Amino acid sequence: MKKSYKLSKKNLNSNNFNSEAYEKNKELFKKISGVKINYNLDNNQLLDLINKQTLIPISIFCNYSPLESLVKYLKENSKLSFKAISDLLNRDQRTIWVTYDNVLRKKINLDCSSEVVVPLEIFSDRKLSVLENLVSHLIKFHSLKEISKLLKKNYQTIWTCHNRAKKKNEK
């Protein structure tokens, strides 16, 4: 027989359940349950929907390797597992682990203050590098000069990424 996971006083007082967090997010839990019921979603479908709508501030890409910055942001700020990150980025889990290990050695500090954000799902295209994906997305809204200022990268670097992405997408 299945065990029921209803909230009870016993569960509220146990070490596994944080009643403060529940009370603080009670309305959010109700809304999420409503979305699940209204759209007939299971838990995995709901998580996929949430992950696709995850927005990444572009300021994290300013100073370091784009893949390292993205992995660090997803691991530490979004609290995702290596498996979840590898699924979202369409990359091997070992690659994600090695990248994160390199980040820890370098002691990278990310700037998450940017108001300009991009959806996480743009980085899942394996034909293009992380920076090429980013530039390909941003070119829809900004000029190359603006993108180079936003990312604090040389204009020529942005131009090269844009041209490489165009050539790869033509094939």
Residue 78 and residue 116 in one domain? yes
Give the pLDDT score at 55.
87
Compute the mean pLDDT over every residue in the chain, rounded to the nearest whole number.
83
- Copy the structure tokens of residue 91: 């990359």
Q: Give Cβ neighbours of residue 42 (< 8 Å, ≥ 6 apart).
A: 36
Asked, for residue 22, whether it belongs to a domain, the answer is: no
**What residues make up the domain containing 35?**
27-121
Domains contained in the chain, number: 2
Q: What is the dihedral of CA 11, 17, 19, 25, to 10 degrees?
A: -120
Asked if 117 and 77 touch (Cβ cutoff 8 Å), the reply is no
Instruction: Quote the CA–CA distance of 6 and 34 in Å, as a whole number.
Output: 17
Question: Residue 70: which of 130, 30, 13, 154 has the closest Cα?
Answer: 130
Going by pLDDT thresholds of 50, 70 and 90, the confidence category of residue 18 is low
Q: What is the mean pLDDT of residues 115-121?
A: 89
Residue 98 and residue 114 in one domain? yes
pLDDT tens, 59-117?
A: 999 888 999 999 999 999 888 889 989 988 989 999 999 999 999 999 888 888 888 89
Instruction: Quote the CA–CA distance of 64 and 106 in Å, as a whole number.
Output: 10
Residue 46 and residue 106 in one domain? yes
